[in-house]
Amino acid sequence: MFQRYRTIILGAAIVAVVAVIGAGVFASATAKAYACSHIWEPSPTPSPREGASPQPGYVQPDMGRSHVPVGTTVTYTYCPPASGNHYNQPTAPITSRVYGPNDAIVPEHWIHNLEHGGLVILYKGEADQVALKGLFDSVPPSPICGFEPGGQSPGPVIARFDDMATPFAALVWGRVLPLQTLDTPTILEFYAAWGEKTNPEQQCAAPSAAPASSETPSSSPATSAEPSSSVGSSAAPSTPAASGGAVAPSAPASASPS
């Protein structure tokens, strides 16, 4: 009996083995290089005080910043992540440019750009690449270091990322601006407010304060103005102000970078 069907049985066994191996290879090739515990949606914030300065975006809880070997799958508590473990490969941070929807760009790449002060703009699905390129071209030099976009500058990086609650999001280290549309003015306002001010690895020295006036003092000294809170602090003001569809943080990050 076996001899009669030997060829058929062996052929079926070979096909089954090949199918199992192929399934394993496919699963490995299509497995995500990262994981998300939660799709991050910030809590509503209270109405701002009258005259309060705009604080666009939300503070996201800190997820650390350890460097891990290339190929490591990192699980992020919140997605899109504005901090967290990431690759420190020789080419990191990755090149500042618009990445297409099929480019294999994952958070472990661009979180290193955030760590260096770069702006990251994320989109879901097949977004309009012409509009994204227009946004890239409209980004000015970085607010503190004056880096021109493109090349080895840490930002902007524009890349696809589907694991988020809104179609678009702009990120700097520790802060996220969710967006329903590709709102260029609001993104640029967000970058001007927070770019290179929250990242743990500063790439240049912050400009010094302007010197005091040399005018001859009057007989009675003027009352000095109360200093305002520093916009560069990683802990954002507790009272927010909405601006251009962006909203203020609900709570500051509490965890220290690892």
Q: Which amino acid is at 179?
A: L
Q: Is residue 90 part of a domain?
A: yes
Split into its structural domains, the chain has a count of: 1
Q: Is residue 219 part of a domain?
A: no
Cβ of 180: how many Cβ atoms within 10 Å? 9
Q: Is residue 128 part of a domain?
A: yes
Whether the CB-CB separation of 141 and 120 falls below 8 Å is answered with no
Domain range for 172 is 31-40+55-194
Q: Is residue 233 part of a domain?
A: no
Longest dimension (CA), the chain: 117
Q: Is residue 92 part of a domain?
A: yes
Q: Is residue 47 part of a domain?
A: no
pLDDT of residue 248: 41
Regions in the chain scoring below 50 on pLDDT:
13, 15-30, 209-258
Q: At what angle do helices 184-194 and 129-138 cross, to 10 degrees?
A: 40
pLDDT single digits (tens) 185-210: 999 999 999 999 998 888 887 665 44
Backbone phi, then psi, for 60, in 5-degree steps? -110, 140
pLDDT single digits (tens) 36-86: 999 999 877 666 677 666 678 999 999 999 999 988 999 999 999 999 999
Taking alpha carbons only, the member of 249, 235, 154, 232 closest to residue 197 is 232
Q: Is residue 6 part of a domain?
A: no
Q: Which amino acid is at 133?
A: K
The tokens of 14 are what?
């070979």
pLDDT of residue 231: 35
Q: Is residue 141 part of a domain?
A: yes
pLDDT of residue 12: 53
Dihedral angle sign, alpha carbons of residues 100, 39, 30, 171? positive
